[in-house]
Amino acid sequence: MTKYIARRLVLLVPTVILVTVIVFTLMRAMPGDAASLQIGDSASRDQIETLRAQLGLDRPLYAQYFVWAAGVLTGDFGKSHRTQQPVIDELKNAIPVSAELALAGVLTAVAVALPLGTLAATNRARHIDYAARLVALAGLSIPSFVLGTLVVLFLALWFGWLPPTGYVPLYVDPLTNLQQFVFPALVVGYRSSALMTRMVRSSLLDVLQQDYIRTAMSKGLSWPTVVRRHALRNALIPVMTLIGTQVGALLSGAVVSETIFSLPGVGRLFIQAVTQRDYAMVQVVILFIALVVSLSNLIVDVLYAVVDPRVGYE
Amino acid sequence: MAVTSTGVSAAAIAGPRPLEGFRVFARRFARQPLGMFGLAVLVALVVIALFGPDLAQWDPYELGTKRLAAPSADHWMGTDQLGRDVWTRIMYGVRPSITVAFGAVAISIFTGTAVGAISAYTGGIFDLVMQRITDALEALPALFLGILVLTIVPPSYGSLMFAIGLVMLPVAQRVVRASTLAVKHADFVTASRVLGATNTRIILRHILPNILSPVLVIASAELGGAILTSSSLSFLGFGTPPPEPSLGAMVSGDGRQFMTQAPWLVIGPATVISLSILAANFIGDALRDVLDPRLRN
């Protein structure tokens, strides 16, 4: 097991390096470089050249990459050409927002999917099953930006109320924080809940056909006990894996949700950085995202083996 | 029945199987009500994409005097803040959405099939490099990767297809690779190699036909994802540039600004987007039920 984790961690290194190389190259292929953006159109050619030299933009691409990579390894992620502040500071401020959004999204998804999927599987081919599957299918088909926009629309039309903009940390003012996060989390979570409901349903249906369920029934256990203690426990193993693979989708949903509800999270930071051609910021955001996604995939695979003793990695 | 000069019927040479196979498939698909509903919606969307401009009563760019007018017999879905007919703009907006979605699916399926099949068949360094690149692409969530690409190549039909195709490439590639690995050592592959078939011929004639089912299932599943991603991108400002109507962009920007006074500005396009993704998902589910023998009762 330790050997497996070590090997996966080692494999993660080239993946993340490759991501940064791709992004670094793409950023340099963008029309208009950092120097001319920083100085403006009025600057003379000489001024731009001087600034390029200062920023190291006149050096070959691979040299620029190594300078950047060396910086990253020593904790220096570069400065935003917009604010002249270290990009890592702004990222650090945005992470708690997106983390809370993602966590609340996952909780929403589980809270919806677990009962709904269980009801669907235990009432197979009855009305409640079809209803649950319809709710799930709607979740898969309604894009986050549509749902978010409609939520804002109905809140404004019916209640004349909109969530407070900006971000207030949970520990400063729990009520305001809750008002800010409930709806974005619903929007992000509903989509994941759709996939999860389907997964809970099909996985539970699978388990309910196993011999040990019949055994449990025939020793006189009540149906709810069998479902809860015998079936669900086993059925939830693949569902847990799904939560891990949903991290990427949650982050994509966060981009949309943070834009609609004006939450200053990583997604909105990314959109801002891209539109303002803030290279250093884009690179550090992408590095962070790639690490989060790769690590959560790794954690899921490891947890899988921990929870299910039948799964082993050599 | 057509008879060739040698006296053997053409059907006998071609064998009855391909057409027969398709008939069985079509019959099974027709028994899926939701799948048929999805297909009907998709056909309607394709018709609107092809002939929308001829069907529309209004000019999508013409500024009218009736601004933010509620839906009426004249304007089925009302008018926007510039007095333009919303339903007409939706019909025009279906074209980029559907074109980009089909193009993106085609790109990801063709590239994914080529890379996945060759990767699995040849193995070695090529496989190793391709899988690491796939890992790297997969480490970036859809919207992040899509937006990154679209900042380098400004949004157009082509660049959107490419960006979304790239986003969906890893999954297509992995499915094809896994399916190819499963048939690579089958006896009929060995047999044809013994008979002296080239690698190209083995991949094209023997491996590809055998992995067609999973490829079809993935392609239909990707269609909904492609519509979702392209409309999300255009909502975020990375779609086909104005003044061409784009469904995603109709829900953001001006649509959002005026939606409390004129909810039809966003409800119309939002419904069409969701309905098209729903249709694609219905088709995907039906195809999976039909093509996956493990699910067949």
Residue A180 lies in a domain: yes
Q: With cut-offs at 50, 70 and 90, classify the pLDDT of residue B2.
A: very low
In a domain, A212, yes or no: yes
Query: Inter-chain contact B266–A23, Cβ cutoff 8 Å?
Result: no
DSSP code per residue over B7-48 = S-BHHHHH-SHHHHHHHHHHHHHHT-HHHHHHHHHHHHHHHH
Least confidently predicted of A92-96, B62-66, B108-112, B219-223: B62-66
pLDDT at A113 (0 to 100): 92
Task: Give A228-283 pLDDT, tens digit per residue.
Answer: 888 888 888 888 888 877 888 888 888 999 999 989 999 999 999 988 888 889 99
In which band, very low, low, confident or very high, does the pLDDT at A39 lie, cut at 50, 70 and 90? low
Peptide bond into B243 cis (omega under 30): yes
Total number of domains constituting chain A? 1
Predicted confidence band of residue A41 (pLDDT cuts 50, 70, 90)? low
Phi-psi region of B253 (alpha: psi -120 to 50; beta: other; left: phi over 0): left
d(CA B135, CA A290): 10
d(CA B115, CA A40): 44
Nearest to B152 among A26, A289, A294 (CB): A26
Residue B173's CATH number: 1.10.3720.10
- pLDDT at position B14 is 44
Residues B209, B212, B215, B220: what is their CA dihedral angle, to the nearest 10 degrees? 140
Return the pLDDT at A164: 80
Q: How far off is chain A from B181, nearest CA to CA, in Å?
A: 20
The DSSP code sequence of chain A is -HHHHHHHHHHHHHHHHHHHHHHHHHHHHSSS-HHHHHH-TTS-HHHHHHHHHHHTTTS-HHHHHHHHHHHHHTT---B-TTT-SBHHHHHHHHHHHHHHHHHHHHHHHHHHHHHHHHHHHHTTTSHHHHHHHHHHHHHHHS-HHHHHHHHHHHIIIII---PPPS---TTT-HHHHHHHHHHHHHHHHHHHHHHHHHHHHHHHHHHHTSHHHHHHHHTT--HHHIIIIIIIHHHHHHHHHHHHHTHHHHHHHHHHHHHHTT--SHHHHHHHHHHTT-HHHHHHHHHHHHHHHHHHHHHHHHHHHHH-TT----
**pLDDT on residue B172:** 92
- For residue B120, being part of any structural domain is answered with yes
Look at residue B21 and tell me if it is in a domain.
no
Range of the domain at A244: 88-267
What CA–CA distance (Å, rounded) separates B108 from B126?
Answer: 19
User: What pLDDT shows up at residue B12?
Assistant: 44
User: How wide is the angle at C-alpha B261 spanned by C-alphas B259 and B265, nearest 5°?
Assistant: 40
B19: in domain: no
Per-residue exposure over A189-222, b if at least 16 CB sit within 10 Å of its own CB, e if not: bbbbbbbbbbbbbbbbbebbeeeebeebeeeebe
Q: Compute the distance between CA of residue A85 and CA of residue A81 in angstroms, rounded to an integer.
A: 8
Domain at A194, CATH number: 1.10.3720.10
Can you tell me the distance from the alpha carbon of B135 to that of B170, in angstroms, rounded to the nearest whole number? 8
Taking the mean position of all CA atoms in its chain, how far away is CA B186? Answer: 31
Query: Do the domain assignments include residue B58?
Result: yes
A289, closest residue in chain B (CA to CA): B140
Residue A233 lies in a domain: yes
pLDDT tens-digit profile of B219-242? 988 999 999 999 999 999 898 887
As a whole number, mean pLDDT of residues A60-87 equals 85
pTM of the model: 0.87
Q: pLDDT-derived band of residue B293, with 50, 70 and 90 as boundaries?
A: low
What burial letters (b/e) apply to B108-124, b meaning 16+ CB within 10 Å?
bbebbbebbbbbbbeee
pLDDT at residue B77 in the model: 77
Q: Which residues of A touch B143 (CB under 8 A)?
A: 252, 255-256, 267
Residues in chain B within 8 Å Cβ distance of A153: 259-260, 263, 266
> Which one of B139, B237, B259 has the shortest CB-CB distance to A290?
B139
Mean pLDDT along residues A47-57: 76
What pLDDT shows up at residue B160? 94
Select the residue of B144, B274, B281 nearest A143 (Cβ to Cβ).
Answer: B274
The predicted structure's pLDDT at residue B271: 92
Gap between the Cα atoms of A218 and A59, Å rounded: 76
Residue A307 lies in a domain: no
**B19-24 contact pairs (CB < 8 A, 24+):** none
Question: Nearest 5 degrees, angle CA A284-CA A288-CA A291?
Answer: 140
Among A23, A143, A248, the residue with its CB nearest the CB of B141 is A248
CA-nearest of A293, A271, A291 to A282 is A271
Confidence of residue B295 (pLDDT cuts 50, 70, 90): low
- Specify the pLDDT at position A284: 92
Taking an 8 Å cut-off on Cβ atoms, the answer to whether A18 and B132 are in contact is yes
- Number of domains composing chain B: 1
Place of tokens 């961690």: A9
Q: Taking phi first (over 0 means left), then psi (-120 to 50 degrees means alpha), and beta for anything else, what does residue A78 get?
A: left
Residue at B90 is within a domain:
yes
Contact indicator for A164, A81 with CB cutoff of 8 Å: no
A226 in a structural domain = yes
Residues of B within 8 A of A142 (CB-CB) are 274, 277
Place of tokens 């089912």: B213
Q: CB distance from B139 to chain A under 8 Å?
A: yes
Question: Are A98 and A266 spatial neighbours (Cβ–Cβ below 8 Å)?
Answer: yes
**What are A204-210's contacts with CB under 8 Å, separation 24+?**
A204/A117, A204/A118, A204/A121, A204/A122, A204/A231, A204/A232, A204/A235, A205/A121, A205/A124, A206/A235, A207/A231, A207/A234, A207/A235, A208/A121, A208/A122, A210/A234
Domain that holds residue B122: 32-291
Residue B1 pLDDT level (bands cut at 50, 70, 90): very low
pLDDT value at residue B13: 44
DSSP state of B202: I
